[in-house]
Amino acid sequence: DAKTTQPNSMESNEEEPVHLPCNHSTISGTDYIHWYRQLPSQGPEYVIHGLTSNVNNRMASLAIAEDRKSSTLILHRATLRDAAVYYCILREPQQGAQKLVFGQGTRLTINP
């Protein structure tokens, strides 16, 4: 599986936008980019995914570089509840179990 690189930690203020970067220079042409997050003492939860185009949903936006070697998860207006570890994961579009390989992620701290 192709590897992703994320900063270990980031800090932001409540009600401000947050941009979480992810580098994936060895991404293949068919790998999907996924983001999950893990709130304290909980299991991970799905945030968003994309292939080539930027994506938006109710939780966040995903901006994908034109060469697909990096991507950015954007939280438009952070709240205290967004404090979590965010994982950027690459997945091949194969049929079947679609196993996820988690790295260490970025621990996001939100200041009130």
Partner 1 sequence: DAGITQSPRHKVTETGTPVTLRCHQTENHRYMYWYRQDPGHGLRLIHYSYGVKDTDKGEVSDGYSVSRSKTEDFLLTLESATSSQTSVYFCAIKGPSGTYNEQFFGPGTRLTVL
Contacting positions for partner 1 (CB under 8 A): 32, 34, 41-46, 49, 87, 95-105
Among residues 42 and 53, whose Cβ is nearest to partner 1? 42
Among residues 15 and 92, whose Cβ is nearest to partner 1? 92
- The tokens for 111 are 């200041």
- Smallest gap from Cβ 29 to partner 1, in A, equals 17
Report the C-alpha gap between 9 and 18 in whole angstroms.
Answer: 12
C-alpha distances out from residue 53 to 13, 17, 18, 28, 93, Å: 28, 20, 20, 15, 16
- Smallest gap from Cβ 1 to partner 1, in A, equals 10
Among residues 15 and 45, whose Cβ is nearest to partner 1? 45
- Smallest gap from Cβ 2 to partner 1, in A, equals 15
Q: What angle do CA 6, 45, 29 make, to 5 degrees?
A: 55
